[in-house]
């Protein structure tokens, strides 16, 4: 069961781990969207919204799992390497740590912002450490919607990382969001096919520089 503050259940963490353990084996209701530079992206139509949920599998060379997980959780560092971040911070509201994230969208579209909770766990599965980060949208009255920015109220993401057996990381990502408004199909397709892989590549580059920061 989820906590009273909207946290994540043990089952959710276990399900995310299982996805990485299966690595690319998905159900028949998922279709392969693309395969490029070591990444496979699958999608499944969400009939309620008419939008797609996505699963991404890939390997990031020369990026240790623990470092990759630390980078993903480090919001201040992300503002240095993620070019699409307009504003990003976390604060505590009602005893719960909440993240505010505003994403730059190309002109003439409005930026999108997200309010979400997240939780990281480092699990031991058959003697191998697996890093899991779960995130989902929430709402707090202390962060009202802003003029000129579209609030994304449906957002869910899972990130699972483990060693590739060498110096790199095996990565699984699940994500779904409903950006609202009128988004051109070309932008939706670009984000699906390029946005997440490019994000992972940028995170891998940031991994190489992380030791300089620390």
pLDDT at 69 (0 to 100): 94
Cα separation values, 123 from 13, 22, 100, Å: 9, 16, 27
Task: Answer whether residue 182 is part of any domain.
Answer: yes
Contact yes or no for 172/55 (Cβ under 8 A):
yes
Task: Answer whether residue 1 is part of any domain.
Answer: no
- Alpha helices, DSSP H, located in the chain: 10-22, 65-73, 75-81, 185-190, 196-213
Closest CA to 118 of 27, 8, 197: 8
pTM: 0.89
Task: Answer whether residue 2 is part of any domain.
Answer: no
**Kind of pairing, strands 155-163 and 39-46?**
unpaired
- The residue segments making up the domain with residue 163 are 10-211
Q: Where are the beta strands (DSSP E) in 19-148?
A: 31-36, 39-46, 51-60, 85-93, 96-103, 111-125, 128-137
Task: Answer whether residue 114 is part of any domain.
Answer: yes
Structure tokens at 73: 């959780």
Task: Answer whether residue 5 is part of any domain.
Answer: no
Most confident stretch, 1-5, 39-43, 58-62, 115-119: 115-119
What is the average per-residue pLDDT within 57-69?
A: 91
Overall domain count for the chain: 1
pLDDT at 99 (0 to 100): 97
What is the Cα–Cα distance from 149 to 147, expressed in whole angstroms? Answer: 6
Q: What CATH number is attached to the domain comprising 63?
A: 3.30.530.20
Cα 148 → chain centroid: 24
Task: Answer whether residue 206 is part of any domain.
Answer: yes
What would the pLDDT profile of 182-195 be if each residue is shown by its tens digit? 777 777 777 777 77
């Amino acid at each position: 069961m989820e906590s009273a503050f909207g946290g994540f259940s043990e089952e959710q963490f276990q399900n995310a781990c299982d996805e990485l353990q299966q690595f690319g084996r998905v159900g028949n209701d998922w279709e392969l969207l693309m395969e490029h530079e070591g990444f496979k992206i699958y999608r499944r139509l969400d009939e309620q919204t008419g939008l797609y949920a996505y699963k991404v599998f890939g390997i990031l060379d020369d990026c240790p799992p623990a470092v990759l997980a630390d980078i993903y959780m480090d919001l201040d560092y992300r503002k240095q390497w993620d070019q699409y971040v307009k504003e990003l911070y976390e604060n505590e509201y009602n005893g719960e740590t909440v993240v505010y994230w505003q994403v730059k969208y190309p002109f003439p579209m409005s930026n999108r912002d997200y309010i979400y909770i997240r939780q990281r766990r480092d699990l031991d599965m058959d003697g191998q450490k697996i890093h899991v980060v779960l995130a989902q949208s929430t709402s707090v009255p202390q962060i009202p919607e802003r003029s000129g920015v579209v609030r994304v109220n449906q957002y869910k993401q899972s990130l699972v990382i483990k060693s590739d057996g060498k110096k790199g990381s095996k990565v699984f990502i699940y994500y779904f969001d409903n950006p609202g408004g009128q988004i051109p199909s070309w932008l939706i397709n670009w984000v699906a096919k390029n946005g997440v892989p490019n994000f992972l590549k940028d995170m891998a580059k940031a991994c190489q520089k992380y030791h300089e920061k620390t």
